[in-house]
Amino acid sequence: MTVLLKKDAALAELARMRAELGANEDTCLMCRLAAGAAVPEPIFETRELSVVLDRFGSREGHLLVISKRHVEDLSDLGAEEYLRAQRLAFDASQVLTRALAPKRTFIAALGAPRQVPMSFPHFHLHVIPIYEDDERARPARVFSWTEGVVVYSDDEARALSKKLRETWLRVF
Ligand SMILES: [Zn+2]
């Protein structure tokens, strides 16, 4: 069953996943995810971008659009690739709407001004389905680990990714 982990437990789980994927100071976790190294495999990918289920989601179905090359600065990414990433984020939002019927979907490019455990400098976009229509849907609460993190078993993550992949192929 999908569980909501408290921040400390989620950070421990994230550290475990980083180790499992061989990510460390020299090998970026986002690079590993974009390369399809994690379970489950990407929901959709192009030559330069991958769409994957965030195993540490703000909500069930939280997706990441990740560049396959390690780019930290938007100016290195360039406008064209940035727009292609946003296009995939748009497509992902349509897929989430069809598959999971959220009330709203947030799309965000975030990042931290300093190194923190749950943030990665490698360029990625968040696509987050929001199911609530009360205070819990406020962006400051959604974009925080303090309210808990959605984690899946490998089987749950595979099943949800499969459902979203099938929806993707049907919609586009
Ligand atoms: Zn990277």
Residue 42 Cα to ligand 1 midpoint, Å, equals: 16
What pLDDT sits at residue 94? 98
- Reported confidence tier of residue 114, pLDDT bands at 50, 70, 90: confident
Residue 102 Cα to ligand 1 midpoint, Å, equals: 30
What pLDDT sits at residue 118? 79
Provide the residue range defining the domain that includes 71: 3-171
What pLDDT sits at residue 146? 85
Residue 122 Cα to ligand 1 midpoint, Å, equals: 5
- Reported confidence tier of residue 1, pLDDT bands at 50, 70, 90: low
Residue 96 Cα to ligand 1 midpoint, Å, equals: 25
Q: Are 117 and 149 within 8 A, CB to CB? A: no
Q: What is the mean pLDDT of the chain?
A: 92
Residue 31 Cα to ligand 1 midpoint, Å, equals: 4
Tally of domains within the chain:
1
Residue 91 Cα to ligand 1 midpoint, Å, equals: 23
Residue 68 Cα to ligand 1 midpoint, Å, equals: 8
What pLDDT sits at residue 44? 97
Residue 134 Cα to ligand 1 midpoint, Å, equals: 35
Over residues 126-138, the pLDDT tens digits come to 999 999 999 999 9
- Reported confidence tier of residue 122, pLDDT bands at 50, 70, 90: very high
- Reported confidence tier of residue 116, pLDDT bands at 50, 70, 90: confident
What pLDDT sits at residue 41? 92
Could you write out the DSSP letters of every residue in 94-159?
HHHHHHH--SEEEEE----SS--TT--SS-EEEEEEE---SGGGSHHHHT-STT-EEE--HHHHHH
Query: Cβ neighbours of residue 59 under 8 Å, at least 6 residues apart?
Result: 102, 128, 129, 130, 131, 142, 150
* CATH value at residue 140: 3.30.428.10
